[in-house]
Amino acid sequence: MASKLIGIVGATGTGKSTSIKHLDPKETYIINTAKKELPFKGAEKLYNSENKNYKEVDEIVEITRLIKTVSEKAPHIKNIVIEDSNYMMAFRMADKANEVGYTKFTVMAKDMVDLFREARKLRDDLKIFYFSHPEVVEDGGEIVGYKMKTSGKMLDNQIVLEGLFTICLYTHVEDTKEGANFYFITNRYKKYPAKSPDGMFEDLKVPNNLQMVVDKVNEYYN
């Protein structure tokens, strides 16, 4: 057994960050790469440095060190959320904007692979949620699907993020007369390349509730 890597992919405003509110803050550690406010009531009181369950970090290598430290020294933490993970790649690219050649992409790909490799070695009872924006995949000008967003094709040539996850859920919003309903897509649906182990989720669309996801993962593997 090993820790579980869970990708949560969705555009801004589709319920990714809001889904955190269902988790128990006493068992959850948030790594905020974008350093922006969490979009649910009371978030700052629940997650902060005083409670030792929140840190703003955007450097990939430092995030790798941090999740290892949480695994080793904070056994009460069961969930680690890497929020807005795309920014750690974007900021790294900005820092290396003046470097020429392909070396910077190779280094970044290695750092990302190292992050996921180390994440898989953590405690059995840990869930690592990796929040990502989606990127449109086109063929001849037609949208044929989506993928996890990276810092561009040069990085895509060296690493396929989706292949590093056993579970990858996509956000989905349905508008009704009563208002918008927010879901996670659990397996391939239309142009969403979501995936999860056979039988883990009974339904293709489930509420965007991270605690529900944790419960389903625990039930499946235990």
Q: Give the pLDDT confidence of 29-75 residue by residue, as tens digits.
A: 999 988 888 888 889 999 999 999 999 998 888 999 999 999 999 99
User: Is 104 contained in some domain?
Assistant: yes
Q: What is the Cα–Cα distance from 89 to 93, expressed in whole angstroms?
A: 6
Q: What is the CATH number of the domain that holds 193?
A: 3.40.50
Structural domain span for residue 112? 4-206
**Single-letter amino acid code for the residue at 183:** Y
38 three-class SS: coil
Please tell me the predicted confidence (pLDDT) of residue 154.
56
For residue 189, give the DSSP letter.
Answer: B
pLDDT (tens digit per residue) in 8-21: 999 888 888 899 99
Greater confidence (163 vs 5) lies with: 5
- Count of structural domains within the chain: 1
- Domain assignment present for residue 218? The answer is no
Does 213 reside within a domain? Answer: no
With respect to residue 24, please indicate whether it lies within any of the assigned structural domains: yes
The pLDDT of 105-120, averaged and rounded, is 81
Domain annotation covers residue 34: yes
- Kindly report the pTM of this predicted structure: 0.88
Do residues 31 and 82 touch, judged by C-beta distance below 8 A? yes
Task: Give yes or no for a contact between 193 and 137, defined as CB atoms under 8 angstroms apart.
Answer: no
Residue 136 is given by DSSP the state E
- Position 98 pLDDT exceeds 70: no
Q: How confident is the model at residue 102 (pLDDT cuts 50, 70, 90)?
A: low
Structure confidence at residue 114 (pLDDT):
84
Q: How many CB atoms lie within 10 A of CB 65?
A: 13
